[in-house]
Amino acid sequence: MLRWLRHAHWALRPWLDWLLQRSPVEPTPAWAFARLPVTSPLSVLAEGAVIVLAPHPDDESLGCGGLIAACVAAGRDVHLVILTDGSASHRDIAGWPPERIAALRATEVEAAARELGVKPSNLHLMGAADGAVAHRGGAFLQMAGQLAELVCSTGAGTLLTTWLHDGHRDHAAAALLAEAVSALQPVRHLSYPIWGWRLSDLPKPVRGWRIDIAPHRAAKRRAIAAHVSQTTDLIAGNAGWGNLSPGFRTNFDRDYEVILQA
Protein backbone atom coordinates (compact mmCIF):
# COMPACT_ATOMS: atom_id res chain seq x y z
CA MET A 1 0.00 0.00 0.00
CA LEU A 2 2.80 2.39 0.92
CA ARG A 3 4.59 1.65 -2.35
CA TRP A 4 1.38 2.37 -4.28
CA LEU A 5 0.91 5.70 -2.50
CA ARG A 6 4.45 6.75 -3.32
CA HIS A 7 3.95 5.82 -6.97
CA ALA A 8 0.64 7.71 -7.08
CA HIS A 9 2.26 10.79 -5.54
CA TRP A 10 4.97 10.98 -8.20
CA ALA A 11 2.52 10.17 -10.98
CA LEU A 12 0.09 12.90 -9.94
CA ARG A 13 2.65 15.55 -9.00
CA PRO A 14 3.05 17.05 -12.54
CA TRP A 15 -0.72 17.52 -12.73
CA LEU A 16 -0.86 19.05 -9.24
CA ASP A 17 1.95 21.44 -10.08
CA TRP A 18 0.13 22.44 -13.30
CA LEU A 19 -3.07 23.16 -11.36
CA LEU A 20 -1.22 25.20 -8.73
CA GLN A 21 0.50 27.27 -11.40
CA ARG A 22 -2.91 28.14 -12.88
CA SER A 23 -4.40 28.98 -9.48
CA PRO A 24 -4.87 32.74 -8.79
CA VAL A 25 -3.49 32.36 -5.25
CA GLU A 26 -0.78 30.36 -3.58
CA PRO A 27 -1.92 28.16 -0.64
CA THR A 28 0.37 29.60 2.06
CA PRO A 29 3.38 31.91 2.05
CA ALA A 30 5.70 29.32 3.61
CA TRP A 31 4.77 26.79 0.92
CA ALA A 32 5.10 29.30 -1.92
CA PHE A 33 8.34 30.80 -0.62
CA ALA A 34 9.86 27.32 -0.29
CA ARG A 35 9.39 26.85 -4.05
CA LEU A 36 11.52 29.87 -4.97
CA PRO A 37 14.94 29.17 -6.51
CA VAL A 38 18.01 29.38 -4.30
CA THR A 39 20.79 31.81 -5.17
CA SER A 40 23.55 33.82 -3.53
CA PRO A 41 22.79 37.15 -1.82
CA LEU A 42 24.80 39.41 -4.12
CA SER A 43 23.38 37.84 -7.28
CA VAL A 44 20.00 39.54 -6.77
CA LEU A 45 21.47 43.01 -6.32
CA ALA A 46 22.39 45.71 -8.79
CA GLU A 47 25.83 47.29 -8.74
CA GLY A 48 26.58 49.99 -6.19
CA ALA A 49 25.54 50.60 -2.62
CA VAL A 50 22.52 48.94 -1.03
CA ILE A 51 19.80 50.77 0.90
CA VAL A 52 17.53 48.82 3.24
CA LEU A 53 14.36 50.68 4.18
CA ALA A 54 12.76 49.22 7.30
CA PRO A 55 9.34 50.43 8.49
CA HIS A 56 10.26 49.78 12.13
CA PRO A 57 13.41 49.04 14.09
CA ASP A 58 13.86 45.22 13.83
CA ASP A 59 12.38 44.74 10.33
CA GLU A 60 15.86 45.16 8.84
CA SER A 61 17.27 42.30 10.94
CA LEU A 62 14.29 39.99 10.52
CA GLY A 63 13.74 40.44 6.80
CA CYS A 64 17.24 40.73 5.39
CA GLY A 65 19.80 40.68 8.20
CA GLY A 66 21.68 37.89 6.47
CA LEU A 67 21.80 39.76 3.18
CA ILE A 68 23.04 42.88 4.97
CA ALA A 69 25.83 40.91 6.66
CA ALA A 70 26.73 39.25 3.34
CA CYS A 71 26.98 42.63 1.62
CA VAL A 72 29.20 44.06 4.35
CA ALA A 73 31.44 40.97 4.24
CA ALA A 74 31.81 41.44 0.48
CA GLY A 75 32.76 45.10 0.90
CA ARG A 76 29.46 46.50 -0.36
CA ASP A 77 28.32 49.78 1.19
CA VAL A 78 25.01 49.27 3.08
CA HIS A 79 22.75 52.01 4.43
CA LEU A 80 19.91 51.25 6.84
CA VAL A 81 16.96 53.66 6.83
CA ILE A 82 14.47 53.18 9.67
CA LEU A 83 11.19 54.82 8.73
CA THR A 84 9.40 55.08 12.12
CA ASP A 85 10.45 55.45 15.74
CA GLY A 86 8.76 52.18 16.76
CA SER A 87 7.06 53.83 19.72
CA ALA A 88 3.66 52.17 19.16
CA SER A 89 4.91 48.62 19.67
CA HIS A 90 3.82 48.79 23.34
CA ARG A 91 1.05 51.05 24.58
CA ASP A 92 -0.47 52.22 27.86
CA ILE A 93 2.16 50.58 30.05
CA ALA A 94 3.16 52.29 33.28
CA GLY A 95 6.67 53.66 33.12
CA TRP A 96 6.91 53.27 29.34
CA PRO A 97 5.71 56.43 27.59
CA PRO A 98 6.14 56.53 23.81
CA GLU A 99 9.26 58.69 23.95
CA ARG A 100 11.03 56.19 26.23
CA ILE A 101 10.11 53.29 23.93
CA ALA A 102 11.34 55.27 20.91
CA ALA A 103 14.68 55.95 22.61
CA LEU A 104 15.05 52.27 23.54
CA ARG A 105 14.27 51.07 20.05
CA ALA A 106 16.78 53.49 18.55
CA THR A 107 19.43 52.04 20.85
CA GLU A 108 18.41 48.52 19.85
CA VAL A 109 18.66 49.14 16.12
CA GLU A 110 22.07 50.75 16.62
CA ALA A 111 23.21 47.55 18.36
CA ALA A 112 21.68 45.39 15.62
CA ALA A 113 23.46 47.41 12.93
CA ARG A 114 26.78 46.83 14.71
CA GLU A 115 26.15 43.08 14.76
CA LEU A 116 25.56 43.14 11.00
CA GLY A 117 28.68 45.23 10.40
CA VAL A 118 26.92 48.41 9.24
CA LYS A 119 28.84 51.62 9.94
CA PRO A 120 27.14 53.97 12.46
CA SER A 121 27.20 56.76 9.88
CA ASN A 122 25.16 54.55 7.54
CA LEU A 123 22.22 54.26 9.93
CA HIS A 124 19.47 56.80 9.23
CA LEU A 125 16.49 57.25 11.58
CA MET A 126 13.65 59.12 9.86
CA GLY A 127 11.52 59.27 13.04
CA ALA A 128 8.07 59.09 11.45
CA ALA A 129 5.10 58.35 13.70
CA ASP A 130 4.76 54.60 14.25
CA GLY A 131 1.53 53.27 12.77
CA ALA A 132 0.65 56.45 10.89
CA VAL A 133 3.03 56.76 7.94
CA ALA A 134 1.41 58.59 5.04
CA HIS A 135 0.63 56.68 1.85
CA ARG A 136 0.25 59.82 -0.24
CA GLY A 137 0.26 63.61 0.02
CA GLY A 138 2.85 66.14 1.05
CA ALA A 139 4.47 64.19 3.89
CA PHE A 140 4.77 61.11 1.68
CA LEU A 141 6.38 63.09 -1.14
CA GLN A 142 8.80 64.71 1.28
CA MET A 143 9.96 61.30 2.57
CA ALA A 144 10.24 60.00 -1.00
CA GLY A 145 12.38 63.00 -1.88
CA GLN A 146 14.69 62.38 1.08
CA LEU A 147 15.13 58.76 0.08
CA ALA A 148 15.75 59.70 -3.55
CA GLU A 149 18.48 62.09 -2.40
CA LEU A 150 20.09 59.29 -0.36
CA VAL A 151 20.01 56.99 -3.37
CA CYS A 152 21.68 59.68 -5.45
CA SER A 153 24.32 60.64 -2.86
CA THR A 154 25.31 57.05 -2.06
CA GLY A 155 25.23 55.75 -5.61
CA ALA A 156 22.87 52.99 -4.50
CA GLY A 157 21.78 50.53 -7.13
CA THR A 158 19.37 48.55 -4.96
CA LEU A 159 16.60 49.57 -2.56
CA LEU A 160 15.10 46.84 -0.39
CA THR A 161 12.02 47.29 1.71
CA THR A 162 9.02 45.42 3.03
CA TRP A 163 6.50 43.71 0.80
CA LEU A 164 3.47 45.68 -0.34
CA HIS A 165 1.15 42.83 0.77
CA ASP A 166 2.69 42.51 4.23
CA GLY A 167 -0.54 43.31 6.07
CA HIS A 168 0.67 46.39 7.99
CA ARG A 169 0.03 49.97 6.89
CA ASP A 170 3.60 51.09 7.66
CA HIS A 171 5.02 48.17 5.69
CA ALA A 172 2.79 49.06 2.76
CA ALA A 173 3.85 52.70 3.07
CA ALA A 174 7.51 51.69 2.89
CA ALA A 175 6.81 49.67 -0.26
CA LEU A 176 4.98 52.62 -1.83
CA LEU A 177 7.87 54.92 -0.94
CA ALA A 178 10.31 52.56 -2.63
CA GLU A 179 8.09 52.50 -5.73
CA ALA A 180 8.07 56.30 -5.78
CA VAL A 181 11.84 56.47 -5.36
CA SER A 182 12.43 53.93 -8.13
CA ALA A 183 10.40 56.20 -10.42
CA LEU A 184 12.70 59.10 -9.56
CA GLN A 185 16.05 57.29 -9.53
CA PRO A 186 17.46 54.31 -11.48
CA VAL A 187 17.42 51.91 -8.52
CA ARG A 188 16.37 48.28 -8.31
CA HIS A 189 13.41 47.82 -5.94
CA LEU A 190 13.25 44.49 -4.09
CA SER A 191 11.05 43.37 -1.20
CA TYR A 192 11.28 41.15 1.86
CA PRO A 193 8.22 39.76 3.70
CA ILE A 194 7.68 40.14 7.45
CA TRP A 195 4.02 39.83 8.45
CA GLY A 196 3.37 38.31 5.04
CA TRP A 197 4.51 34.99 6.51
CA ARG A 198 1.25 34.94 8.49
CA LEU A 199 -1.11 35.29 5.53
CA SER A 200 -3.50 32.40 4.99
CA ASP A 201 -2.83 32.67 1.26
CA LEU A 202 -1.02 34.96 -1.13
CA PRO A 203 -2.74 37.58 -3.31
CA LYS A 204 -0.93 36.32 -6.40
CA PRO A 205 1.96 34.01 -7.32
CA VAL A 206 5.23 35.41 -6.02
CA ARG A 207 8.46 35.84 -7.93
CA GLY A 208 11.81 36.05 -6.28
CA TRP A 209 14.50 33.98 -4.64
CA ARG A 210 15.63 32.23 -1.52
CA ILE A 211 19.06 33.66 -0.88
CA ASP A 212 21.59 31.51 0.93
CA ILE A 213 22.65 33.23 4.16
CA ALA A 214 24.01 30.20 6.03
CA PRO A 215 27.46 31.78 6.58
CA HIS A 216 25.80 34.85 8.14
CA ARG A 217 23.03 33.20 10.14
CA ALA A 218 24.81 33.72 13.47
CA ALA A 219 25.21 37.45 12.84
CA LYS A 220 21.54 37.68 11.93
CA ARG A 221 20.55 35.90 15.14
CA ARG A 222 22.62 38.35 17.19
CA ALA A 223 21.04 41.29 15.36
CA ILE A 224 17.52 40.03 16.03
CA ALA A 225 18.40 39.40 19.68
CA ALA A 226 19.61 43.00 19.95
CA HIS A 227 15.97 44.09 19.62
CA VAL A 228 15.34 43.12 23.24
CA SER A 229 12.03 44.95 23.59
CA GLN A 230 10.60 42.89 20.73
CA THR A 231 11.99 39.48 21.59
CA THR A 232 11.77 39.34 25.41
CA ASP A 233 9.44 40.38 28.23
CA LEU A 234 11.49 43.49 28.96
CA ILE A 235 8.31 45.58 28.63
CA ALA A 236 5.62 43.63 30.43
CA GLY A 237 1.87 44.01 29.94
CA ASN A 238 2.09 44.70 26.23
CA ALA A 239 -1.04 46.16 24.60
CA GLY A 240 0.43 47.10 21.24
CA TRP A 241 1.39 44.98 18.26
CA GLY A 242 2.87 42.42 20.58
CA ASN A 243 6.29 40.95 21.01
CA LEU A 244 7.53 38.61 18.31
CA SER A 245 6.61 35.13 19.47
CA PRO A 246 9.22 32.35 19.25
CA GLY A 247 7.01 30.55 16.75
CA PHE A 248 6.80 33.56 14.46
CA ARG A 249 10.56 34.17 14.72
CA THR A 250 11.26 30.71 13.28
CA ASN A 251 10.30 32.18 9.89
CA PHE A 252 13.48 34.25 10.08
CA ASP A 253 15.78 31.65 11.60
CA ARG A 254 16.60 29.76 8.42
CA ASP A 255 19.59 29.27 6.16
CA TYR A 256 17.85 31.44 3.59
CA GLU A 257 15.96 34.71 3.32
CA VAL A 258 13.13 35.43 0.93
CA ILE A 259 13.70 38.31 -1.46
CA LEU A 260 10.83 39.14 -3.79
CA GLN A 261 10.65 41.08 -7.01
CA ALA A 262 8.61 44.16 -6.21
Q: Is residue 177 part of a domain?
A: yes
Whether 261 and 190 have beta carbons less than 8 Å apart is answered as yes
Q: Is residue 21 part of a domain?
A: no
Alpha-carbon span 172 to 176, nearest angstrom: 6
Q: Is residue 5 part of a domain?
A: no
What is the domain range of residue 78?
A: 49-261
Q: Is residue 6 part of a domain?
A: no
Q: Is residue 69 part of a domain?
A: yes
Quote the pLDDT of residue 20: 39
72-84 exposure pattern, b = at least 16 Cβ within 10 A, e = fewer: beeebbbbbbbbb
Alpha-carbon span 49 to 122, nearest angstrom: 11
Going by the DSSP 8-state scheme, the letter that residue 122 receives in this structure is: G
- Say how many domains are in the chain: 1
Query: Model-level pTM?
Result: 0.87
Quote the pLDDT of residue 31: 86
How far CA 83 is from CA of 108, 129, 186, in Å, comes to 15, 9, 21
Quote the pLDDT of residue 237: 61
Quote the pLDDT of residue 234: 85
Low-confidence ranges of the chain (pLDDT < 70): 1-27, 237-242
Q: Are strands 188-192 and 256-261 parallel, antiparallel or unpaired?
A: antiparallel
110-134 exposure pattern, b = at least 16 Cβ within 10 A, e = fewer: bebbebbbbeeebbbbeebebbebb
Quote the pLDDT of residue 12: 47
Q: Give 146-197 pLDDT, tens digit per residue.
A: 999 999 999 999 999 999 999 899 999 999 999 999 999 999 999 999 999 9
For CA atoms 122, 63, 235, 241, the dihedral sign is positive
CATH number for the domain spanning 253: value is: 3.40.50.10320
Quote the pLDDT of residue 212: 98
Q: Is residue 219 part of a domain?
A: yes
Quote the pLDDT of residue 27: 58
Quote the pLDDT of residue 91: 80
Q: Is residue 28 part of a domain?
A: no
If DSSP codes are grouped into helix, strand and coil, which group holds residue 228?
A: helix
Quote the pLDDT of residue 242: 59
Q: Are strands 156-162 and 188-192 parallel, antiparallel or unpaired?
A: parallel
Q: Is residue 136 part of a domain?
A: yes
